[in-house]
């Protein structure tokens, strides 16, 4: 992604904030308090293949249930109704007098078939709906880099001992493919070793649970009461162990309106700040707060490339951070830089190693950072929106080559500059490569069919993308044309393009 080209309107459609609810279910296990997590299916639009709590968005049936069921009352009544309905559908569970019980299969199948059936089944007595023991432990709004924002109410219930809680069932539902009961320590250890992908809010809640259980000698009821009292909201956004993101508002290409700055490295040792793009004091203070909160030592600022939506205000940055700037040779030619980063170089950041990858295409000096946690991708791919290859400084051939290089590396996750974490890197990178290669061929075919003007070639090549802005379509078509020209396939005669 790049700065917004001249002539393209910047307006970003306002994103609605949708209410949702999530339930942390715990039980007393052999090694201590265990937490139930489910692995989300690859088909899920958000966090596929991630381990997460059960839950979902609030619906009309949940609001109707508050009106018709006396036991649903208070501030979080609709959220509790949503959770009661969701756990029936996703787990085959219901809540009864502070315990977890199994739901009759026939009643559950009706809810899976149509969630509106849940209320009727409760009123008929086929599904129990008891709010005893449910506590509100946190409220968090999802970060602003996503296409949809959720105001999530996190609830908790302790189901009792390992022998009292039934097994979760994956039969019928399509969100989860498996479930696991493990202690917070066990889950966090696997997350730190990149053996489990755990949704960011779940990670920080597990960390809080671990601390609180230690404070109360493993007593889950006292710990839940303390978490309810504290009501800790979102602080750090941990995409992976050693990867914290701070979204900073910038003038970038819609629908994105933020650039992700990253704290990369050892959580208790050396780390770097990647693309601190703040141009307003508010953004700088957000970055400074994250750096101060970090347990490690900031050693440098790293820029992936010098586009304006990645470079912050240097006066603000110097005010907040007294550290050197590292970048590629091409980026260093445009900004003051104290260390030149080269392809293949290893950055040792405490107990973590990150390799510098020079990935030209979007910009000749573009770099990525690659480590066990995944790929800090800059503008190679995006979690929201698209990536531009600027005709004046980009190179479509190099971009396609670098996409293949990244596919071969098989990163654990991708941390883009715009949008949320990319959980299925091979799928995303392969899509980008195939999509761009197909567009590359469409441009050549349009010229071969006798279309000569840039506007007409772009119109033909982007027939499958009617919502693409005409100026952006022409901009990217020109990048493809220049690539074909460099390879000797076509030639430019005045303002027309013809086969060579």
Please state, for a pLDDT cut of 70, what percent of the chain lies above it.
97
- Does the structure show a pLDDT above 60 at 83? yes
List, in sequence order, every residue forming a beta bridge with 102; answer none if it has no partner: 93
Contact 319, 284 (CB under 8 A): yes
Instruction: Give the three-class secondary structure for 117.
Output: helix
- Cα gap 161→173, rounded to integer Å: 26
CA 381, CA 302: separation in Å to the nearest integer?
18
Where does the chain hold its CATH 3.90.79.10 domain(s)?
Answer: 17-230
What count of Cα atoms within 13 Å lies in the side-chain half-sphere of residue 104?
11
**pLDDT given at position 13:** 42
Q: Does 11 score more than 90 pLDDT? A: no
Contact 97, 132 (CB under 8 A): yes
φ, ψ of residue 238 in degrees (nearest 5): -100, 100
Q: Which residues of 206-220 are buried (b: 16+ CB within 10 A; e: fewer)?
A: bbbbbebbeeeeebb
Query: Looking at residue 142, what DSSP letter applies?
Result: P
Give Cα 270 distance to the centre of its chain.
24
The CATH class given to the 17-230 domain equals: alpha beta
300-328 pLDDT, tens digit per residue, is 999 999 999 999 899 999 999 999 999 99
Q: How many CB atoms lie within 10 A of CB 7?
A: 10
> What mean pLDDT, rounded, does the chain reach?
93
CB contact at 8 A, 28 and 35: no
Residue 14 has pLDDT above 70, yes or no: no
pLDDT value at 7 more than 70:
no
Q: Indicate the class that CATH gives domain 440-499.
A: mainly alpha
Q: Of all helices (H) and strands (E), which one includes residue 102?
A: strand 99-102
Mean pLDDT across the stretch 388-398?
A: 93
Q: What is the DSSP secondary structure assignment for residue 422, as one 8-state letter?
A: B
Q: What is the pLDDT of residues 37-75, one digit of tens each?
A: 999 999 998 899 999 999 999 999 999 999 999 999 988
DSSP for residue 365:
T
Is it true that domain 238-423 has CATH number 3.40.50.280?
Answer: no
CATH 3.60.15.10 maps onto the chain at 238-423
Q: How would residue 5 be classed by pLDDT, with cut points 50, 70 and 90?
A: very low
Q: Is the per-residue pLDDT at 216 higher than 80?
A: yes
pLDDT tens-digit series, residues 101-145: 999 999 999 999 999 999 999 999 999 999 999 999 999 988 887
**8 A C-beta contact, residue 240 and residue 246:** no
Measure the CA–CA gap between 169 and 2, rounded to whole angstroms.
46
| Ranges in the chain annotated CATH 1.10.10 | 440-499
Give which of 296, 348, 303, 300 is closest to 322, Cα–Cα: 300
pLDDT tens profile 153-199:
999 999 999 999 999 998 888 899 999 999 999 999 999 999 999 99
For residue 4, name the pLDDT band (cuts at 50, 70, 90): very low
The structure's pTM equals: 0.93
């Amino acid at each position: 992604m790049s700065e917004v080209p001249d002539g393209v309107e910047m307006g970003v459609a306002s994103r609605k904030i949708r209410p949702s609810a999530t339930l942390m279910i715990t039980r007393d296990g052999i090694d201590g308090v265990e937490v139930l997590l489910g692995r989300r299916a690859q088909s899920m639009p958000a966090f596929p293949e991630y381990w997460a709590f059960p839950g979902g968005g609030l619906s009309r049936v949940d609001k109707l249930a508050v009106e018709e069921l006396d036991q649903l009352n208070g501030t979080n009544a609709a959220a509790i109704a949503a959770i009661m309905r969701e756990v029936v559908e996703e787990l085959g569970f219901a809540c009864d007098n502070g315990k977890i019980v199994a739901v009759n299969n026939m009643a559950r199948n009706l809810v899976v078939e149509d969630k509106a059936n849940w209320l009727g089944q409760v009123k008929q007595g086929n599904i129990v709906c008891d709010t005893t023991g449910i506590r509100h432990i946190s409220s968090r709004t999802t970060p602003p880099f996503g296409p949809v924002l959720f105001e999530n109410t996190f609830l908790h219930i302790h189901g009792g001992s390992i022998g009292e809680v039934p097994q979760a069932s994956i039969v019928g539902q399509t969100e989860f493919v498996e479930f696991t009961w493990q202690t917070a320590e066990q889950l966090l250890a696997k997350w730190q070793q990149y053996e489990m992908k755990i949704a960011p809010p779940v990670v920080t809640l597990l960390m809080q649970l671990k601390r609180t259980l230690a404070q109360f000698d493993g007593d889950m009821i006292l710990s839940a009461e303390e978490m309810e009292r504290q009501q800790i909201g979102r602080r750090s956004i941990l995409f992976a162990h050693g990867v914290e993101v701070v979204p900073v508002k910038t003038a970038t290409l819609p629908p994105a309106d933020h650039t992700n700055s990253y704290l990369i490295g050892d959580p208790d040792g050396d780390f770097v700040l990647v693309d601190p793009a703040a141009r307003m004091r508010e953004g700088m203070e957000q970055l400074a707060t994250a750096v101060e909160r970090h347990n490690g030592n900031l050693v440098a600022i790293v820029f992936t490339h010098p586009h304006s939506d990645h470079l912050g205000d240097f006066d603000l940055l110097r005010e907040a951070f007294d550290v050197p700037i590292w970048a590629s040779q091409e980026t260093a030619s445009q900004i003051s830089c104290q260390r030149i980063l080269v392809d293949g170089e290893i950055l040792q950041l405490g107990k973590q190693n990150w390799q510098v990858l020079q990935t030209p295409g979007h910009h000749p000096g573009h770099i990525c950072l690659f480590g066990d946690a995944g790929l800090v991708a800059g503008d190679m791919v995006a979690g929201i929106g698209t990536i531009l290859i600027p005709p004046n400084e980009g190179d479509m051939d190099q971009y396609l080559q670098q996409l293949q290089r990244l596919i071969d590396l098989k990163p654990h996750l991708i941390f883009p500059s715009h949008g949320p974490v990319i959980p299925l890197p091979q799928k995303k990178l392969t899509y980008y490569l195939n999509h761009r290669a197909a567009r590359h061929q469409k441009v050549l075919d349009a010229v071969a069919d006798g279309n000569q003007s840039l506007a007409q070639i772009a119109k033909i090549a982007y027939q499958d993308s009617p919502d693409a802005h005409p100026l952006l379509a022409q901009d990217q078509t020109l990048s493809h044309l220049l690539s074909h020209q460099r390879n000797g396939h076509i030639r430019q005669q005045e303002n027309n393009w013809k086969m060579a």
